[in-house]
Amino acid sequence: MSNRPVVWITRTLSDNTLSRARRDYEVIVDPADLPASADTIIEMSQKVDAIIPCHSEIFSADVVAQLDDRVRIIANHSVGVDHCDLDALKTKDIVVTNTPDVLSDATAEIAFLLLLGAARKAIEGDTLVRSGQWENWSPSFMVGQQVSGKRLGIVGMGKVGQVMAKRGRGFDMEVHYHNRRQLSPEEEQGAIFHESLSGLLPNCDYISLHCPATEQTKRLINSETLAQLPKGAILVNTARGALVDEAALLDAIESGHLSAAGLDCFEVEPGGNPALAKHQNIFTLPHIGSATFDTRDAMGFRALDNLDAFFSGKAPRDRLV
């Protein structure tokens, strides 16, 4: 019988990740590749020493209280850990890690895709061509918002936010940001710091969300904060759906206060919001910010690096609890 730790990988990760995991661990993977229910998580905790979950697996306080003592580490295949009750896991003496840094470029790429697509009416134009309804052209046809030279506001200037700022500077955008702390001049690269969200919002032609979802940031973008944006502004969200009050967003779109939005995450996932889908000036994607081959390998390897460190008696690089 093998003495190798048993690891449950809850979803189908990249081929390279699974190959490496099987080389070093006894691995359990469900080929169905569906989110694990609370009952499944609790049942599986009796059979494994470690879990590599995604944000689709919810470790609520109630679930954590019922986990078997055999589980010693949860090495998340994600940066965000809003699906984990960290206080409950700490009480249970279960180590928790995440995968920061490695998905910054991919997520910022999607954020800028959404920004450009929302600004330049990508959904409306694509629909027109695909449906065979493109029958004329004039100077007034499909006129969208300019991106170059405009003001880009970033909420959350961590790794992804900093890459987004770099991409914005490539379009000669004036970068503004709100963050828990002001960055050093070397990190800011000329970006303008706003101590409060209310100070940032009036200075945004485009606003891009890159902060974590917490009790403090839930529905950070709501009727009150949207009203502080200039008329015609565009909202981009590649962070977490919980950051945006979708009813308020719809009101702002329908009133014309927001000219467009680009969204990669939603309050309800999977599925999104059918009410948002009715508007062609809302460019939507199914939470694929980190979905590149390179990034999926990097995320999987980072999770395995944390497991390797833990089971060799070292401190995992990305330990949160």
The fold for domain 6-102+293-311 equals Rossmann fold (3.40.50)
How far apart, in whole angstroms, are the C-alpha atoms of residue 206 and residue 147? 9
User: Is 319 considered catalytic here?
Assistant: no
The letter for the amino acid at 303 is A
For residue 243, which of 227, 264, 271 has the smallest C-alpha distance? 264
**How many CB atoms are closer than 10 A to CB 286?**
12
Correct CATH for 104-284 of 3.30.70.920, 3.40.50.300, 3.40.50.720, 1.10.1270.20:
3.40.50.720
How far apart, in whole angstroms, are the C-alpha atoms of residue 178 and residue 7? 39
User: Is 178 considered catalytic here?
Assistant: no
Kindly state the percentage of the chain with pLDDT values over 70. 100
Selecting among 83, 120, 269, 317, the annotated active-site residue is 269
Report residue 2's pLDDT band, with 50, 70 and 90 as the boundaries.
confident
Q: Report phi then psi at 225, rounded to 5.
A: -75, -35
| Reduced 3-state DSSP string for 129-149 | HHCCCCCCCCCCCCCCCCCCC
pLDDT of 189: 97
How far apart, in whole angstroms, are the C-alpha atoms of residue 276 and residue 268? 12
Report residue 141's pLDDT band, with 50, 70 and 90 as the boundaries.
very high
Give the model confidence (pLDDT) of 56-91 as tens digits.
Answer: 999 999 999 999 999 999 999 999 999 999 999 999
pLDDT of 66: 98
| Token pair recorded at residue 126 | 């694509």
pLDDT of 148: 98
User: Is 287 considered catalytic here?
Assistant: yes
Question: How far is CA 105 from each of CA 44, 124, 224, 295, 301, rounded to the nearest angstrom?
Answer: 34, 27, 31, 9, 17
How far apart, in whole angstroms, are the C-alpha atoms of residue 244 and residue 238? 11
pLDDT of 83: 95
Domain ranges of the chain: 6-102+293-311, 104-284
Selecting among 77, 240, 296, 302, the annotated active-site residue is 240
pLDDT of 1: 52
Give the model confidence (pLDDT) of 177-196 as tens digits.
Answer: 999 999 999 999 999 999 99
Give the model confidence (pLDDT) of 106-124 as tens digits.
Answer: 999 999 999 999 999 999 9
Mean pLDDT of 95-104: 96
For residue 266, which of 292, 239, 290, 300 has the smallest C-alpha distance? 239
Question: How far is CA 172 from each of CA 146, 175, 193, 218, rounded to the nearest angstrom?
Answer: 11, 9, 18, 31
Would the pLDDT of 28 be above 60? yes
Q: Is it true that 6-102+293-311 and 104-284 share their CATH fold? A: yes
